[in-house]
Structure 1
Amino acid sequence: MSDELDDLERRGLFTRAELAEVVRRRRDFEFRLRRRSPLRADFLDYIAYELRLDALRDLRKRAIIRATPDSDHDDDDADDADEKKRRRRKKRKGGKKWKKSVSDVAGVLRVLDIYRMATVRYKGDLDLWFRYLEYCRDKRHGRMKQVLAQAIRYHPKVPGLWIYAAAWEFDQNLNVAAARALMQTGLRSCPESEDMWIEYLRMELTYLNKLKARKVALGEDVKTLQKKNDDSSTWKEENKELFMSLNEQDEGPEESGPQGVALEGKEDLFWQQGLLIIQTIYHGATGALPLSLTLRKKFLEILNSVDLAHSDELKVEVMDDLKKDFSHSEDYWDWFARLQLSDTTSSSNLNRKDALSNKLNKSIQVYDEAVRRLPTSRMYSLYAKFWMGVLFADSEDSIALFHGGELDASEFTLCILKVYQNAESCGCLTEDLACQYVSLYLRLGGLEEAPGRLEEAKNLAKKLCDGPLSHAADLWNLRTSIEIKSLVTATGSSAFSKENLSSLFDLFNVALSKLSLPEAEGLWHAAMKLFSHEKIYFEKLVKCAILALSSAGGNDCGASVSSAIVGWVLQRDGIKQTRKMYKRFLALPRPSLKFFQYCIELETNLASIGNGDSLVNARKLYDSALDIYPQKRELWRNYYNMELKVGTSETVNAIYWRARKVLNDSTALDIPRS
């Protein structure tokens, strides 16, 4: 390190005081690394400091070089061309003072050494290994191969390391054979990695593309190297950066006779070998991962995205294998149907509207075949989701292709309704599909400006709730909201008559009787909000809640309902009626702890603003809760803390010793105050 410091001082990059501070900081970091168990952060902090130090050294060096006067500078009237030549010559030759020395490489070597120690100490930390590799790659250091070999030796089952190593060999080292060997070895270690198979395919296709570019540049571009619609000169211009530029000669006449036939046959053989490599990768990938639909979809996307001749046969093979192996999968049919929307082969000569109609019809045919083969709830759900994306631009999976104004969405309403009707007739209508079915009528009413759709949605919801989906909570929620909306629309006011209130209460009563308390929690809150100012119906609702809570026991959902009722009574009738109400709920078998806590919090809040009876009631509530839940430490602690705040030393000590006796633990509560 002394040579490095002397060089930094001699160059004028750091002063002696600054170098003393550098030595002190490095000593501190070294002491941290030499302890028995150095932390990962110790290594990273040391590396970060050295990187900042090296960046500062480089910055000062550049500043000094810019400020150094040009000793070779002649008169001011020198030509610009001569000036540039002198600067280039000086930069190439370099001055004696700024010749590369030990301080230029010492920082890099020290960071590499710290990374080496860190990876030895933390061999399993992949993040450290990748930081190490990235630093070697950025600095173009020769240790890169050694680090890659060490990382792969410690982590042979990590596909990312194999891919990283192969990419470095392929892109940076320009060693295709080594990259291919790494990928093949990695595939033997990680045969079930989709990413490795896909990246191996991409690498081989990239290599073939480079070979194609080289042959085009050399003038060997025959018809087997590109598709029929490609322009050879355009392709050559777009890919000229792949290889070094060649001196182009004037193109002569096209080769004919035996020489041209031989060249074309040679190119055919080359491309057949390339296609054979791709087929081998595909068959190896499908053999290793026969149940992966994602792998084959990615494989097909790659084949479609590259410009390769003689690949249509492989695409057909991939599509046939997909249909044969995944015809039982709903995801395959959904993907295949949506794939028809990107097909441009059969609609290239049509106008936009006809082309869209043609694509849509193809997708519909695929979906129809899918529901015939797989009449499942999921298949119908995917079919309906597709139609929602076609009809509505604001849906989650909107298909932008159909929202340009060329097609009238109202023309296809019967098609999506037929999907739901078929699902209902096949017994595949789940709760989610039923809610989508009913909600569709409401959306179609806004789309077609047809108020009659609301009545149709109301009748459909009634039919479904009275049928096989009588225990679907979401459907009952939807039905009650539609009934309320229907009455508001019919009367033109949110104030309901007695007949309307009676019909709504009957509807809620039926729904709440068919659903369990956890499922109907949302309905309970909606009913309380609707009947909060109708004492007769609210009292009936309270009686229904008491019956439901009696059978449900002390669960949190029951506490939520009872707490909401107590809150409404507090707002409307005051604290006296509120206490009567929560005592009715507390008289039920085993009231929930959550409801006890709600009532205690209510009383303590009132006590804090000066209500005299609230503190007494809070103590009674605590005693009642501890009779039912004596082992709840948090309840004892809250009771104890309340007495510390508002009680006397006698009450505090009484609670403390009661808790110790019941819990049989001297550390259950804090030491009481004297």
Structure 2
Amino acid sequence: MADVVQFKLERMLNELEDLERRGLFSRGEIAEIVKKRRKFEYRLKRPSPLKQDFLAYIEYEKQLDALRRLRKKSVLRKSGGKKSKKSVSDYAGVSRILDIYRLATNRFKGDIQLWFQYLEYCRARGHGRMKKALAQLVRFHPKVPGVWIYAAAWEFDSNLNVAAARALMQNGLRACPTSEDLWVEYLRMELTYLNKLKARKVALGEDEGDLARDHRKADEKQWRDENKELFMALNESGDADKRSDLQDGECEGKLDVFGEHGLNILQTVYSGAVEAIPTCFSVRTRFLEILEATDLAHSEDMRKKILEDMKRDFSKDPLYWDWLARVEIADLEGINAKQFSKAVQVYEEGMTFVPSAVMVELYVKFLMDAICDEDRGGEAAVHFKSHGHTTELVSHLQMVYEKAESLGCITEDLACEHVSLLLQLGKLDEAKLLIEKLCSGKFSEAVRLWTLRLSIEMRCIQNKSLSPSKVDLLYILELLRSILMKVRVSEAENLWVMGLKYFANQRQYFDKLVETSLLLLAKDGGSDSGFSLSSTIVNYILQRDGVESAREMYKRFLALPHPGLAMYRNCIELELNLASTGEKTGLPKARKLYESALATYDQDASLWQDYHSMEVKMGTSETAAAVHWRARKALKNNISLLPSATS
């Protein structure tokens, strides 16, 4: 290994002597360069060099070459601008960087990012190795569409070889026929080349215009035609008009040659893409965007054909109808009523073809975007100028929710949105009737909807009187218990928190809710992590009734079959907080809780760590050592997780 490194360093001798002779680096700096390069070369000659070793060497050489170029410019200025011939040091740095990239890509052939760094450096330097590197990349990664696109783009834009670029794209389509990007970029390349041919004809004076569609020019031409008498010269004759019309006809004929050819290309590529990926919806929308951006012959007929094919193949896809409706209004800003009615008709047709929840969600989102959108300042900005239009949209949105309910394709999210809309409109009674109907039917176990229903019931009671009556409290309690008995404790966190907060100062009803929790926790068990109902109840009682009541309560929960690790941790924290304030029974109770928890969770390393940390801080060295010894005995496979006995 040392002989190889020494041989490589000796081959750098001419370069280093040239750098010193030209005054770019001093002898001491050259010695430092040799030292750094020797270190990097030894790293690369290891049995298993890392990718970072190659990248660090490349970065060092790039910085060194940049410094060389700066000093060369400085020397050139001092010599009065007299240029000297290029020597070996002008080429050696780039050549060495390319060699390191070549070694790196040979070592890490599967690293696409490294390959592209290599190619970008070759392209930036305009080095001839670019073509060879591209060929290697295509050979190693033929199934990566981006590789073919990059190679074709370089041939087309930099190497100016259209035939090679076309061959690369066609080979890429054979290797990756299902790549959407390849089909789209191939079409762009062909149309771009056709536009360049058109521009060449224009530069030679044989034609005019280009294939890019200019809507401003079309509008200006229409205005001029409508007001052509304003532009008519006084000495203009009928023969001049005929000659002008003849010239325009000839230009249109010439333009049609390119337009027809472009249309043929689009038809061919479109047919191939549809055959290769018939289920890809986005590729057809991208073809339509390209078609609308170019001025091709019979483009309207081609557009109709693509739209008909899309309707035939994707009429059961909600995304198709959403896209088609939004095509009617390219931008929600400033749309008129006619455009909006067309979009609504599309959504209504989509609802008949695809009566699904996804279709309803897209329809609702469209209407919400039309009603209001958040501007940059964060305030709602109504796009319709009059308040009447907004009211009409809101009523239409409500009709969509009702239609979704009648079709049976409403989801819990849509139901919550419908109720929330009624609440925003101030229709509290309607919202209450609707949510009662939903909760008693399809969504009898929908927690989010029940949470919303309880909040509405509480609001109605509050509106009726500031202090709820016993009948109202009992009604809320029974309503809450009816849903809590149907779902698991872990799924009803918001319901439990809402109920406990509402009845926190109503001891009689709070105790009934606690009894319900004991019954459910005995059946489902407590939580080991996340939301812990028993811990929440203990904390409420601690704040309201004090420590002794909280201890009595957590003893009842710990007596259940599976109280859960989260409950143990909460009780331990409670006792440790009391012990830190000087309460003498806090530490012994915390030890008992740890022992009870370890009886079930003896393989939990974090529990042993917490127990050991407590003994180190509050206990004695003997108790801490005893806990550490027990933990090592229990955790045979997780000893590394434990702290040392002396920590």
Look up the SS of the partner of 2:505 in the other structure: coil
1:139 maps onto 2:150 in alignment: no
Alignment partner of 2:263 out of 275, 278, 289:
275
> What is the Cα deviation at residue 278 of structure 1?
1.5
1:531 maps onto 2:510 in alignment: no
Look up the SS of the partner of 1:181 in the other structure: helix
1:464 maps onto 2:433 in alignment: no
Change (3 A) 1:513 1:413: same
Q: Deviations over 1:374-432 (max 9, x none)?
A: 11121112111211111222499x9x996152563112222111111111111112111
**Does the aligned pair in 1 maintain the 2:260–2:296 contact within 8 Å?**
no
1:435 maps onto 2:409 in alignment: no
Matched with 2:356 is 376
Structure 2 distance, partners of 1:267, 1:625, is: 85
1:205 maps onto 2:185 in alignment: no
Structure 2 distance, partners of 1:65, 1:427, is: 82
1:178 aligned partner, one-letter code = A
1:621 maps onto 2:607 in alignment: no
Q: Deviations over 1:165-205 (max 9, x none)?
A: 10011111111111111000011111111111111111111
Structure 1 distance, partners of 2:530, 2:96, is: 66
Q: Deviations over 1:245-300 (max 9, x none)?
A: xxxxxxx9987999998886665444323321211111111111110111111111
**Does the aligned pair in 2 maintain the 1:480–1:508 contact within 8 Å?**
yes
Q: Deviations over 1:501-541 (max 9, x none)?
A: 33333332233233321221111011112222222221111
Change (3 A) 1:47 1:673: closer
**Does the aligned pair in 2 maintain the 1:585–1:591 contact within 8 Å?**
yes
Q: Deviations over 1:429-473 (max 9, x none)?
A: 21111001101112233xxxxxxx122222221221122211111
**Does the aligned pair in 1 maintain the 2:355–2:409 contact within 8 Å?**
yes
1:342 maps onto 2:353 in alignment: no
Structure 1 distance, partners of 2:398, 2:330, is: 25
1:606 aligned partner, one-letter code = L
Mapping for residues 39-188 of structure 1, pairs under 5 Å:
39-69=50-80, 95=82, 98-188=84-174
Matched with 1:79 is none
Query: What TM-score do the two structures reach when normalised by structure 1?
Result: 0.84
Change (3 A) 1:401 1:533: closer
**Does the aligned pair in 2 maintain the 1:563–1:598 contact within 8 Å?**
yes
Alignment partner of 1:571 out of 540, 543, 557:
543
Matched with 1:347 is none
**Greater CA drift, 508-517 or 378-387:** 508-517
Change (3 A) 1:127 1:253: farther
Structure 2 distance, partners of 1:310, 1:218, is: 27
Change (3 A) 1:614 1:401: closer
> What is the Cα deviation at residue 18 of structure 1?
1.4
1:478 maps onto 2:455 in alignment: no
Structure 1 distance, partners of 2:290, 2:629, is: 75
Structure 2 distance, partners of 1:560, 1:288, is: 54
> What is the Cα deviation at residue 226 of structure 1?
8.0
Query: What TM-score do the two structures reach when normalised by structure 2?
Result: 0.87
**Does the aligned pair in 1 maintain the 2:432–2:456 contact within 8 Å?**
yes
Structure 2 distance, partners of 1:177, 1:525, is: 70
Structure 2 distance, partners of 1:546, 1:419, is: 43
**Greater CA drift, 35-44 or 657-666:** 657-666
**Greater CA drift, 187-196 or 481-490:** 481-490
**Does the aligned pair in 1 maintain the 2:259–2:296 contact within 8 Å?**
no
Matched with 1:366 is 346
Alignment partner of 1:309 out of 285, 297, 304:
297
> What is the Cα deviation at residue 130 of structure 1?
0.3
**Greater CA drift, 365-374 or 268-277:** 268-277
Structure 2 distance, partners of 1:278, 1:382, is: 31
**Does the aligned pair in 2 maintain the 1:431–1:469 contact within 8 Å?**
yes
Count of equivalent residues: 614
> What is the Cα deviation at residue 556 of structure 1?
4.1
Matched with 1:26 is 37
**Does the aligned pair in 2 maintain the 1:296–1:318 contact within 8 Å?**
yes
**Does the aligned pair in 2 maintain the 1:559–1:592 contact within 8 Å?**
no
Matched with 2:232 is none
Structure 1 distance, partners of 2:79, 2:66, is: 20
Structure 2 distance, partners of 1:321, 1:215, is: 35
Look up the SS of the partner of 1:63 in the other structure: helix
Matched with 1:191 is 177
1:550 maps onto 2:522 in alignment: yes
1:332 maps onto 2:306 in alignment: no
Matched with 2:228 is none
Change (3 A) 1:189 1:385: same
